[in-house]
């Protein structure tokens, strides 16, 4: 940039004090062809902040789907249930309704109706009797056939259908009596009739009137056992529409282990989140050999499946929280532990049934899961017997401090088809129920 020429124009100024500046020669003018634009005056560039570059926001990857069991720990409600669905009996061996009042009298004649649906072969549908159980009237299933029995005090009549009706469809049973003559109708068709023995024509019945099963006291009554051919199981199925002489029974005085009937169930015992177990045998001996099979469909991971403990010896089958199975057998000289590790953690609770077989022969134990046998485990040679004489628990144990127990949770889910080779008398159908367990139905929802 050219510096300006300073000229002092004030009068009387001292020439010596005036600084001398040479007058610069005028700049040469450029021709238009070669002229260039004068340089821009130099100015201090303004200070500006660099623009903030904002990157396009990146979306977080979706969370990985957490692997979990296929079925909820609490079964969902059945939205298809209506007032016509009926009531499901058989959830425990003493499942029943008790009525202290009936809408009519049995005395010399009666007409009782009830509708039923079941797949069971045996079970009590209706029972009424005198306090001494000499006079009685009963309807029950035997081998799937419907049996009507009554006694007015001088001899019983036992009338049976000639075919089974345990086909899981609704049927209506009407059982009439006029003095000594009784008639049994199924779906409005007369299927059997007969007369009681002797001259007595009247039946004296004292409350309660039982629907679907008995109290434990009545079950153990020897005369009652004789009246119903020892068919003392509660009815495993659905009942509805109980009436006498054209008038319906009211609400029951007592309801024990009865639920609204849903079609979305299947056979099996259900162990709920509230905890419970079954006792398959009060005094079970493992001994030298044992072969046990069962099916499971868990709703969560963890829990005892089978357990029996003696003073030192025991057999324990449990599912662990990592989804594996552990079989422990103690003969008194050290534990034998067989394990099953699933391909993925939640394999066993995928909503499907899984079969388990446990075999113990002398000092060797094996476990088979869904047809695949694990490596056998061996105990001390020469120690062959697992000496137990205690309850065989299914689905849980009452004491969480038993030896060998690893899992800390209660089993939640279903178990079915428990079978012990050589012991046809042991099974879930004969087992005692303790706690929140439904003995004969497994929910699908």
Tell me, yes or no, whether 112 lies in a domain: yes
Show the domain range for 193: 87-260
pLDDT tens-digit series, residues 380-405: 998 999 999 999 999 999 998 999 99
Binned average pLDDT, 10 residues per bin, the chain of 445 residues:
40 39 43 43 47 50 67 92 90 91 89 94 94 94 96 92 95 95 96 91 92 91 92 91 93 93 91 94 95 97 96 96 96 94 95 97 96 94 93 95 93 96 85 88 92
Residue 255: which residues within 8 A CB-CB, separation 6 or more?
A: 97, 98
DSSP state of 234: B
The pLDDT of residue 17 is 39
Give the integer Cα–Cα distance in Å for 445 and 443. 6
- Domain shared by 221 and 181, yes or no: yes
Q: Is 403 exposed, middle or buried (0-12, 13-18, 19+ CB in 10 A)?
A: middle
- Domain shared by 164 and 280, yes or no: no
- Nearest residue to 236 via CA among 104, 135, 89, 92: 89
Domain stop point among 260, 291, 312: 260
SS3 content of the chain, % helix, strand, coil (to 5): 5, 40, 55
Contact criterion met (CB below 8 Å) for 366 and 338: yes
Q: Which residue's structure tokens are 């099963």?
A: 213
**pTM (2 d.p.):** 0.75
- Domain shared by 219 and 91, yes or no: yes
Query: What CATH number corresponds to the domain at position 140?
Result: 2.60.120.200
Tell me the CA distances in angstroms from 317 to 246, 286, 434, one per residue in order.
54, 13, 19
Write out the two tokens for 135: 């006079």
Domain stop point among 212, 244, 260: 260
- Domain shared by 201 and 325, yes or no: no
Residues in the chain: 445
The pLDDT of residue 424 is 87
DSSP state of 347: G
- Nearest residue to 325 via CA among 385, 373, 274: 373
For residue 150, list its beta bridge partners.
137, 157
Our measurement of the distance from residue 210's CA atom to the centroid of its chain's CA atoms, rounded to an integer in Å, reads: 28
Contact criterion met (CB below 8 Å) for 98 and 253: yes
Q: Could you give the 3-state DSSP secondary structure of residue 218?
A: helix
The C-alpha angle with vertex 154 and arms to 150 and 158, in degrees rounded to 5, equals 30
Tell me, yes or no, whether 28 lies in a domain: no
Question: Strand 206-211 vs strand 123-129: parallel, antiparallel, or unpaired?
Answer: antiparallel
- Nearest residue to 147 via CA among 171, 125, 115, 118: 125
Tell me, yes or no, whether 290 lies in a domain: yes
- How many domains is the chain built from? 2
Give the integer Cα–Cα distance in Å for 18 and 335. 119
- Domain shared by 234 and 99, yes or no: yes
DSSP state of 99: E
For residue 269, list its beta bridge partners.
415
Tell me, yes or no, whether 46 lies in a domain: no
Write out the two tokens for 187: 């779906």
Write out the two tokens for 378: 């061996």
Our measurement of the distance from residue 402's CA atom to the centroid of its chain's CA atoms, rounded to an integer in Å, reads: 24
Peptide bond just before 208 cis, omega within 30 deg: yes
Contact criterion met (CB below 8 Å) for 178 and 194: no
Burial 357-367 (b: 16+ CB within 10 A, else e): bbbbebbebbb
- Domain shared by 192 and 314, yes or no: no
Residue 371, sorted as left (phi over 0), alpha (psi -120 to 50) or beta, turns out to be left
Q: Which residue's structure tokens are 């869904």?
A: 370
The pLDDT of residue 61 is 58
- Domain shared by 274 and 243, yes or no: no
- Domain shared by 165 and 133, yes or no: yes
- Domain shared by 254 and 274, yes or no: no
Q: How many CA atoms lie within 13 A of 424 on its CB side?
A: 0
Write out the two tokens for 336: 């034998």
Tell me, yes or no, whether 17 lies in a domain: no
Contact criterion met (CB below 8 Å) for 391 and 381: no
- Nearest residue to 307 via CA among 321, 338, 336, 286: 286
- Domain shared by 433 and 295, yes or no: yes
- Domain shared by 351 and 230, yes or no: no
Contact criterion met (CB below 8 Å) for 109 and 178: yes
Domain stop point among 233, 260, 287: 260
The continuous run of DSSP H or E covering 226 comes out as helix 222-227
Tell me, yes or no, whether 64 lies in a domain: no
Tell me, yes or no, whether 424 lies in a domain: yes
Question: Strand 247-248 vs strand 390-394: parallel, antiparallel, or unpaired?
Answer: unpaired
The C-alpha angle with vertex 80 and arms to 79 and 83, in degrees rounded to 5, equals 110
Tell me, yes or no, whether 139 lies in a domain: yes
Residue 252 has φ and ψ, to the nearest 5°, of -70, 150
Write out the two tokens for 17: 């004090």
- Domain shared by 236 and 278, yes or no: no
């Amino acid at each position: 940039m050219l510096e300006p020429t300073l000229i002092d124009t004030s009068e009387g100024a001292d020439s010596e004090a005036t600084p001398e500046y040479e007058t610069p020669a005028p700049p040469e003018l450029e021709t238009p062809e070669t002229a260039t634009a004068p340089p821009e005056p130099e100015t201090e560039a303004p200070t500006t902040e660099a623009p903030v570059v904002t990157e396009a926001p990146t979306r977080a990857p979706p969370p990985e789907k957490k692997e979990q069991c296929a079925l909820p720990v609490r079964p969902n409600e059945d939205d298809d249930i209506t007032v016509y669905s009926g009531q499901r009996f058989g959830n425990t061996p003493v499942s029943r309704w008790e009525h202290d009042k009936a809408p009519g009298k049995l005395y010399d004649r009666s007409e009782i109706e009830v509708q039923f649906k079941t797949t069971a072969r045996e079970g009590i549908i209706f029972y009424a009797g005198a306090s001494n159980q000499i006079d009685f009237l009963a309807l029950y299933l035997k081998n799937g056939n419907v049996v009507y029995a009554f006694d007015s005090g001088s001899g019983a009549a036992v009338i049976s259908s000639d075919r089974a009706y345990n086909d899981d469809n609704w049927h209506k049973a009407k059982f009439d009596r006029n003095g000594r003559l009784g008639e049994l109708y199924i779906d409005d068709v007369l299927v059997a009739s007969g007369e009681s023995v002797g001259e007595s024509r009247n039946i004296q019945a004292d409350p309660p009137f039982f629907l679907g099963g008995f109290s434990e006291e009545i079950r153990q009554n020897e005369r009652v056992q004789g009246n119903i051919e020892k068919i003392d199981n509660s009815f495993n199925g659905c009942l509805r529409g109980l009436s006498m002489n054209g008038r319906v029974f009211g609400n029951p005085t007592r309801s024990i282990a009865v639920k609204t009937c849903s079609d979305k169930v299947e056979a099996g015992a259900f162990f709920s989140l509230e905890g419970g177990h079954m006792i398959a045998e009060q005094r079970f001996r493992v001994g030298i050999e044992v072969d046990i099979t069962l099916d499971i469909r868990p709703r969560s991971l963890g829990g005892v499946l089978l357990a029996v403990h003696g003073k030192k010896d025991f057999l324990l089958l449990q599912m662990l929280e990592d989804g594996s199975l552990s079989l422990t057998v103690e003969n008194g000289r050290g534990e034998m532990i067989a394990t099953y590790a699933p391909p993925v953690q939640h394999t066993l609770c995928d909503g499907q049934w899984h079969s388990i077989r446990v075999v113990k022969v002398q000092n060797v134990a094996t476990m088979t899961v869904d047809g695949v046998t694990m490596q056998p485990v061996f105990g001390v040679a020469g120690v062959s017997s697992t000496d137990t004489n205690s309850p065989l628990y299914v689905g849980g144990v009452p004491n969480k401090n038993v030896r060998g127990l690893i899992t800390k949770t209660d089993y939640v889910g279903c178990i079915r088809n428990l079978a012990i080779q050589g012991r046809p008398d042991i099974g879930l159908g004969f087992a005692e129920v303790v706690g929140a367990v439904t003995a004969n139905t497994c929910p699908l929802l």
